[in-house]
């Protein structure tokens, strides 16, 4: 195959569009998340979720039906609320970014592995193009990424917690590597199962409505709801589990209210953490 044929076939393909759009979105979201106050990230989250709820969701269910309002309050609203709460929390703001990265990696890896190696349909009645091979490939990619993030976070947290004497009596003076590996496996398993469930659920909605995508705003991806469907399923389940782990670790030093609602920008004023 000559270079021209290669460029024509692959660079202009849906895969290339999907990759380019994903790269641009990653740069924009990272720039907003790491360089601007939490308020701007919250506005971004609300804008994205409100657009998905009131512009794209009507393509999948008529606002005149009860089904639309069930989807609005039990599908989109819980994930939106959890993401806003995580964004404002000292304990979970960075974790929200990690979750978003892992979900994107899961979706992208499942798509790529499915395209190149997929032979066994995962749920042919809902989404014929999703394959078991794609899901296994996505699981592997997410697991490697989760291990990297969690080991890096463990080094930082161990240093901080040990220095400030924050470990509770229920927990050892540091997170053992076995705990980190187990956490990475658990996170990957939950994210893969819930992310795939969210993806299949939206596939069901699209099949039910007779449309290919929820929208056309993202080249190669479809609509915004096509990209955040997995995240909307993942966050409401993983966020409470993360709250439980943090509270268990710091139970001698913080209240559950502080873990849930302590504002990100007030962390320097928290006497119980004594961080300057």
Bridge partners of residue 127, in order along the sequence: 123
Supply the pLDDT for residue 153. 72
Mean pLDDT of 123-140: 84
pLDDT confidence tier of residue 67, bands split at 50, 70 and 90:
very high
Mean pLDDT of 79-94: 86
Would you place residue 220 in the very low, low, confident or very high pLDDT band (cuts 50, 70, 90)? low
- Over the chain, what is the mean pLDDT? 78
Specify the pLDDT at position 20.
Answer: 75
Q: Which of 26-40, 41-55, 137-151 has the lowest mean pLDDT?
A: 26-40
Percentage of residues of the chain with pLDDT beyond 70: 76
Give the pLDDT confidence score for residue 97 in this predicted structure: 86
Burial code (b: 16+ CB inside 10 Å, e: under 16) for 50-78 equals ebbbeebbebbbeeeeeebeebeeebbeb
pTM above 0.85, yes or no: no
Q: For residues 109-128, give the mean pLDDT.
A: 81
Least confident span in 12-26, 78-92, 234-248: 12-26
Residue 129 CA, chain-centre distance (Å), reads 22
pLDDT band with cut points at 50, 70 and 90 for residue 35: confident
Give the long-range contacts of residues 253-256, CB within 8 A, separation 24 or more: 253/166, 253/168
Q: Residue 106: its pLDDT value, please?
A: 86
122 φ, ψ (degrees, to nearest 5):
-85, -45
Q: pLDDT at residue 6 above 70? A: no
Element (H, E) at 133: helix 132-164
Is the pLDDT score of 210 beyond 80? yes
- The answer to which of 1-5, 39-43, 113-117 has the lowest mean pLDDT is 1-5
Cα(104)–Cα(43) distance, integer angstroms: 20
User: 7 pLDDT exceeds 60?
Assistant: no
């Amino acid at each position: 195959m000559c270079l021209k044929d290669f460029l024509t076939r692959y660079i202009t393909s849906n895969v290339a569009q999907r990759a380019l759009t994903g790269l641009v979105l990653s740069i924009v979201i990272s720039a907003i998340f790491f360089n601007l106050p939490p308020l701007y990230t919250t506005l971004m989250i609300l804008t994205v979720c409100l657009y998905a709820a009131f512009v794209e969701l009507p393509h999948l269910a008529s606002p005149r039906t009860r089904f639309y309002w069930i989807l609005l309050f039990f599908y989109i609203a819980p994930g939106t609320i959890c993401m806003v709460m995580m964004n404002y929390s000292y304990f979970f703001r960075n974790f929200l970014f990690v979750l978003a990265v892992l979900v994107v990696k899961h979706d992208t890896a499942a798509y790529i592995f499915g395209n190149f190696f997929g032979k066994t349909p995962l749920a042919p009645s809902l989404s014929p193009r999703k394959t078991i091979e794609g899901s296994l490939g996505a699981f592997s990619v997410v697991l490697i990424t989760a291990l990297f993030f969690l080991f890096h976070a463990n080094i930082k947290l161990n240093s901080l917690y040990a220095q400030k004497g924050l470990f509770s009596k229920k927990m050892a003076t540091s997170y053992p590597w076995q705990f980190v590996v187990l956490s990475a496996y658990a996170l990957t398993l939950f994210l893969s199962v819930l992310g795939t469930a969210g993806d299949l659920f939206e596939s069901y909605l699209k099949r039910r409505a007779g449309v290919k995508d929820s929208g056309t705003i993202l080249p190669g991806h479809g609509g915004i709801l096509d990209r955040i469907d997995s995240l909307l399923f993942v966050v409401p389940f993983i966020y409470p589990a993360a709250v439980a782990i943090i509270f268990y670790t710091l139970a001698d030093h913080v209240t559950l209210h502080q873990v849930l609602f302590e504002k990100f920008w007030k962390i320097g004023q928290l006497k119980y953490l004594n961080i300057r």
